[in-house]
Structure 1
């Protein structure tokens, strides 16, 4: 996904689906790169990787168990997640 509007639309849509809480466990930095490990109060865990240039995130990738997230929040699994 590219561009501020596409990112903003994704976050508006996803954050409207469930109450999400991210408690940072640790942040590691090396040059332009950072990694964040997190957990939520329901026990879900994940991590995110970021590349930052000139104070802006130019790359982000995150990992967590999306199926567990859907189940914890009583959400239907979207068809595009079922393969």
Structure 2
């Protein structure tokens, strides 16, 4: 499966808030680093991270662009509340081995009425 196709399917699972389906896209020792958060390593830990996130806020990913370059897919996204971000997915052997995401955590917390970090 090409990286662009995999990320398209990943977005479908994300929008279904299906942490199990999302986890299946990752290699066993994958790394997910959302730059506003601590790095998460391993498929099980990534699944648990998404399960926690889906439980805390209703999230929707609206694809603006998905680009592919070799083993990489780049996702530009927005959500219905106006938040925007991008993600980089390194795909090998039909699995995500590394993901990095950029988005505004403070805006996300405010939009969802979640507690702000202590200063």
TM-score (norm 1): 0.91
Aligned pairs for 1:1-83 within 5 A: 1-79=40-118, 82=119
Highest Rg: 1 or 2? 1
Runs of 4+ in 1 over 3 A off after TM superposition: none
Structure 1 vs Structure 2 CA RMSD? 1.0
Alignment partners' CA distance in 1, 2:103 and 2:41? 21
TM-score (norm 2): 0.64
* Paired residue total: 80
Q: What per-residue deviation string (whole Å, max 9, x for no partner) do you get for residues 37-81 of structure 1?
A: 0000110000000100010000000000010000001100244xx
Larger RCO (CA within 8 A; separation ≥ 6): 2
Unaligned runs of 5+ in 1: none
